Chains A and B, each alone.
Chain A
Amino acid sequence: MVVSPEERTGRLHLGSGQFLAGVAAGRWRLISLTWPKTLIAISAAERPRSPREFFIRFDLTGYPQTAPTGGLWDVEADASLAPELRPKGPRAAQLFRTDGWAGGATAMYAPWDRIALGSHTDWATKYPLQAWKPTRELSFALSQIHEVLNASDYLGV
């Protein structure tokens, strides 16, 4: 079986010290990888009647030259997570928008997401500290998402 360079890089990054340190710390864990689809659980702070982790289904097509994209996933339904079950709070609700943004069901409203970057061509220069670059690893995005889901302004679902 021939593995593409992007898949080889992706698998390498999913075995890097940065990714595995996050796994060991309980920040995230790999659920499945069927290239280019990658399902990862990211832990969230304890909030009433809210899950302790959310699943994000990434599409890593073109990785890492092209930014990843991914949206919240309902593992049991094998479908995008229903809006009422998505994380709330100023930044969490903005990251996982439910207000009709075109990418809301499958992408994140952030400069490390391919769909959001594609519709905001100024974001790469406007938010250079958080915008995707080919030199970054998927763990960069996971870390940003984990921070939002564990910050004091995260309110649960």
Chain B
Amino acid sequence: MELFVHSPGKEHPDIVEVEETALIRTLVVEDEEDGHVWVEASETEVGLDLTFAGAGIRHHHHVHRGRCHHVEVILRWAGENHENEYGPGTTIATVEAWAFDQVAHFSDEQAAQHVLAEPGADHFLEGSVHVGSLVKAGACTATLDLLPRSRFEG
């Protein structure tokens, strides 16, 4: 079966082919500090000695491989920093829900006109990106800007 494996430093997943009966340990390099695995949206680390089938991981499921057990998200909006903590396999769609609803208090219409982006990035973050993919070496934080979506004119 094929899995979508997300990792730090890379926003989009790699496709990895594994056997259902293989150990989750096959996704990581022994003794590597990135040697921890989470199922997308779950904050509970998956035991490396479970099989994929035993852990309930199926074809085309998304998993996260990394070293940060929690990621502190620092959201910059309206001149203030707002912080929240997530599991590394949490998607940007979940972070957006917090940012739009609980920080900015947007209506649905306003939410559709805003996006999240890393400072200085050349693109918006897609909802499917894992926050754990945004951490930098030596840190377990991700700084995000809440920005208005452009309306093309000219």
Contacts and interface: CB of A to CB of B under 8 A. Distances in A.
Given A120-B152, A152-B108, 13 more contacts: A17-B12, A18-B12, A20-B15, A21-B12, A94-B151, A94-B152, A111-B152, A126-B150, A126-B154, A128-B122, A129-B124, A129-B150, A152-B109
A122 B154 contact: yes
A16 interface: yes
A143 interface: yes
Question: What 7 A-B pairs have minimum CB-CB distances, sorted nearest first?
Answer: A18-B12, A17-B13, A24-B60, A151-B112, A152-B108, A127-B150, A152-B112
Interface residues of B, number: 24
Contacts of A120: 152, 154
Contact of B12 (A16, A24, A91): A16
A67 interface: no
B152 A143 contact: no
Contacts of B143: none
A140 B112 contact: no
Interface in A125-157: 126-130, 133, 136, 139-140, 143, 151-153
B114 to A, nearest CB: 11
Interface of A: 16-18, 20-21, 24-25, 91, 94, 109-111, 116, 120, 122-123, 126-130, 133, 136, 139-140, 143, 151-153
Nearest to B5: A17
Give the interface centre of B108, B111, B152 by most chain A CB atoms within 10 Å.
B152
